[in-house]
Amino acid sequence: MSETRRAFASVRATARLIAIKDLRIERRGRVLTNQVLPFALIVMVMFAFALDSDAVLERVAPGLVWLATLFSTLFVIARSFAVESADGALDQLRTSGAPSAGIFLGKALALMAQLLVLVVVLVAAAVVLYRADISGQGGVLLVTTALAATGGLAAVGTLYGGLSAGAKGRETLLPLLVLPVVAPVLIGATRATESAFGTNGIAVSEGWPWLGLLVVFAVLFSVTGAIAFGSLLDE
């Protein structure tokens, strides 16, 4: 096996190991199901109370879904790195010799899996609370949008979660770092979801270019994160 293939195999094995570990910890701790999902649903209900108009809610439903996703994402990112720093596991990861790209991809994959669950629940909430409507073609667009958007959010979240993991005031630093950077995801995912929901008569075909933006964003931050994560962990 060549050196490059061996390096890729090592990154893949580490990513798998880290992702399984993180998802196992989540399954045991149930922070997503017992805390993050209820929070996200409360946000959706509060939006409904605040706007108090079926017509307005139907129009803004895609944006509310992704705003609630963004806010909830911050908790999931914080949790993902809290488990590493609670008992000094981060230092062990640094000295484990595991490839940092593998650590990054593993944590990002686990984060993405949790965010996908979150988005599914929030879209269902939008259908129930805001009377959002999804057609067959819109469904395909919505699923691919959710995959690309959560991929981008997970990559950014892992990158900045790693950066702020050892910093003082990381709880407040994380939103400051993450929210401005993920603005393109909010815009792209909202526009694509408007097309998927047919909000204001927007055609499904108009959503695909926005999906392109989301894919480019996810790939860009995944590659950047895989390259830079080792240095960030060392800081």
Partner 1 sequence: MALDLPVELSDAVAVLGAFPVLAGANLTVQRGEIVLLRGPNGAGKTTLLRLCAGLIELERGRGRVLGHDLSTDRWSVRHRVGLLGHANGLYPDLTVTENVAFWGRTVGASDAEIAAALKRMALDGRLADVQVSRLSAGQRRRTALAALVARRAELWLLDEPHAGLDASGRDELDEVLRQAARAGATIMVASHELERAGTLATRQVEVVAGQVRDLGATS
- Of 17 and 179, nearer to partner 1 (C-beta) is 17
Any contact of residue 87 with partner 1 (CB under 8 A)? yes
Q: Closest by alpha carbon to 70, among 153, 152, 146, 138?
A: 153
Residues 27-46 within binding reach of partner 1 (CB under 8 A): 28-29
Least distance (Å) from partner 1 to the CB of residue 91?
A: 6
Any contact of residue 25 with partner 1 (CB under 8 A)? yes
- Of 19 and 148, nearer to partner 1 (C-beta) is 19
Rounded CA gap, 203 and 196, in Å? 8
Q: Indicate which single residue of 83, 117, 187, 219 sits in contact with partner 1 (rule: CB under 8 A).
A: 83
Q: 3-state DSSP call for residue 52?
A: coil
Any contact of residue 24 with partner 1 (CB under 8 A)? yes
The DSSP code sequence of 84-146 is HHTTTHHHHHHHS---HHHHHHHHHHHHHHHHHHHHHHHHHHHHHHH-----HHHHHHHHHHH
Rounded CA gap, 86 and 215, in Å? 33
Q: Closest by alpha carbon to 154, among 58, 221, 56?
A: 221
Least distance (Å) from partner 1 to the CB of residue 93?
A: 8
Any contact of residue 91 with partner 1 (CB under 8 A)? yes
Residues engaged in binding partner 1 (CB under 8 A): 13-14, 17, 21, 24-25, 28-29, 83, 86-89, 91-98
